[in-house]
């Protein structure tokens, strides 16, 4: 009967590989509190917005309703990002059919951002948000959310090349 070497049993088991891949996947959460003129303050208390490399708001970008998040370089994004906008900044009752909605743009998770001259960052995973003001039957337009509101963003990525 041939001998069996069990000295490294489990090293390449399915469970071990799954555990390793799970460690390579990260879910990032971001919260931005909106101020005047679309300026945004990245909230980092309580572990919120952990892992973000850089953030730019509408005031910095000089583009109404636009927010850009830079994350560590990823191999690929996992699933679709989700965004929630909290209407804490609306004073009074909104008119019928009036609300703000966000649209998320997920860019290459290994984007060369060196042309933007962000100190110490040459490649990054980039996610952008554009907020739209929708009012009644009029056409929606990109606009800054009201001061005092918040944007919440959830996005998942992995550094593993096998996903």
> In terms of pLDDT, which residue wins out, 27 or 162?
27
Beta carbons of 102 and 132 less than 8 angstroms apart:
yes
For 42, the token pair is 């990245």
pLDDT per residue as tens digits for the range 114-157: 887 788 889 999 999 999 888 766 778 899 988 888 999 999 99
CA dihedral over 63, 139, 35, 55, signed as positive or negative: negative
pLDDT per residue as tens digits for the range 13-64: 556 655 555 568 899 999 999 998 999 999 999 888 999 999 999 999 999 9
Tell me 163's DSSP state.
-
User: Model pTM?
Assistant: 0.79
């Amino acid at each position: 009967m041939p001998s069996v070497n069990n000295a490294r049993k489990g090293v390449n088991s399915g469970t071990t590989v799954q555990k390793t891949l799970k460690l390579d996947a990260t879910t990032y959460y971001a919260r931005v509190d909106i101020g005047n003129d679309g300026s945004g303050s990245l909230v980092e208390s309580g572990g919120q917005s952990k892992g973000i490399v850089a953030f730019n708001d509408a005031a910095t970008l000089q583009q109404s309703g636009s927010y850009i998040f830079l994350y560590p370089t990823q191999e690929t994004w996992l699933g679709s990002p989700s965004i929630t906008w909290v209407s804490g900044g609306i004073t009074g009752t909104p008119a019928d059919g009036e609300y703000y909605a966000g649209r998320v743009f997920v860019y290459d998770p290994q984007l060369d951002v060196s042309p933007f001259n962000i100190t110490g960052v040459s490649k990054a995973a980039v996610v952008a948000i554009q907020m739209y003001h929708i009012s009644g039957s009029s056409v929606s337009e990109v606009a800054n959310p009201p001061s005092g509101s918040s944007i919440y963003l959830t996005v998942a990525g992995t550094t593993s090349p096998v996903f």
